[in-house]
Structure 1
Amino acid sequence: MPFLRRSLPSLLMILLLSACGSSERKLEGEGRSGVDFSGSWELDYSQSDNIQARLDAMVRELRRRAERQNRAAGMNQGAGAGLVIGPGGGNSGASIIGLAQMADLITRSPLLEIKQAEDRISVNREETFALRCEFHPGQFHTVETPFGSETCGWNGHQLVFRILLPDGLSIQHVMTLGPEGQRLNIATTVISDQVSYPFTLNRVFNRFVPGNRGYRCTQTLSRGRVCTTESQ
């Protein structure tokens, strides 16, 4: 079933089920450098990417690439070419928006609770599935599931999670801790074989003490930023 015809809830269910894979294999990788992500983290909307702005930037880049390809091929395509900006139906408006919606769906968690030990880490994300990894010196850890494969491990000071799903869809999360250990950036990249350019969202989180929050916000393509109060 093509990526565009599979509903986002169905894709999320695949992600949830793939976390229960059974067989494992190991790949070569780089060791970590003493980074500790443990703690409670709250999304900083002011420092994180705006979904709509990232989507607009992606569309502009795809249009520029299509125009360059057309010029190289001796074609003269007007600026108002419509949402289909690639040849053969690729890079359609539906596929681009679907990619952005998928990125939004899997990065909307406002709160993280991270538990890290010497040999493993668990990134519990509110409103979505957790990210888990076992550490193996000098190696990435890969789990094969009926739905694809999940690979994770240290790349220098960064922790990388890569999920390969059916229908040419892949997701990568790159976690980077700030110099003073109080800020966490998670760069999430979603790739589809229906779109020739990846969609990346950077989410920035700050450490916080549980119980001190006064409000919670979410931001989506359809409703923008929505904030609600919560009990202290």
Structure 2
Amino acid sequence: MTSLSVACSLVCWVLLYTCLCLHNSRRSYEWNCRLVTLLHGILCVCVTAYIGFADGPWPFTHPGVENTALQVAAMSLSLGYFLFDMGWCIYFHTEGPVMLGHHGLSILGILLALGLGESGTEACAALFGTEITNPLLQARWFLRQMGRYEGLAGDAVDLLFVALFTSVRIGVGSWMLYCELASPRPSPLMKAGSVAMYVLSWVFMVDIARFGFRKSRARYRTWKERRRMLEVNGNPGKAD
């Protein structure tokens, strides 16, 4: 039944992408793929948030427990998407080794949780943490494509993305990893996978820090240049 659910999920994501390509034929393949990615990110965050905060169990106190039906459904839904997106990225050569590694670890982690029949609670928590910044990442790409990134909207998206990534994936993720490693219940394979995902998050964090530094420096130079031009343009008026 789990294999069937994953297969149905994969087929649904492929069909959605195909329909978008047919409907938005004037848009690029990547545009339509990112629409699918945006939908998955929003749907995944909503479902896993309900699992973690309402349905339970709490991942920080009950790692390694038996999977619930809702957890299995959420993981099957996301596994189908990751299989679709992994195939798309490989076919179109759009992503580098780090992003492909992230997709590969996500697929292996979900497969492991489904195969073992346990640790669904922390797997869904990891899905929530990794996907919560995804809509912002897609919004940034769409803003760039529409020529609206260089402005207040682009700055707001970038600032919120960095804040969420740092607080959730690094901050809360560190706490989650500690709980996973300290608990005797999770499988050693799940613990190893958690460490690998955490290390990959830090790889992303280093890239984000570099991007933030470069953008802040560029913004400061622009502000300084504008201030200099205002001072230069303002002096003749004062002299008159």
Task: State if a TM-score over 0.5 links the two structures.
Answer: no
TM-score (structure 1 length as normaliser): 0.23
Return the structure number with greater relative CO, CA threshold 8 A, min gap 6. 1
TM-score (structure 2 length as normaliser): 0.23
User: Which of the two has higher C-alpha Rg?
Assistant: 2
Instruction: Tell me which protein shows more strand as a share of its residues.
Output: 1
Instruction: Tell me which protein shows more helix as a share of its residues.
Output: 2
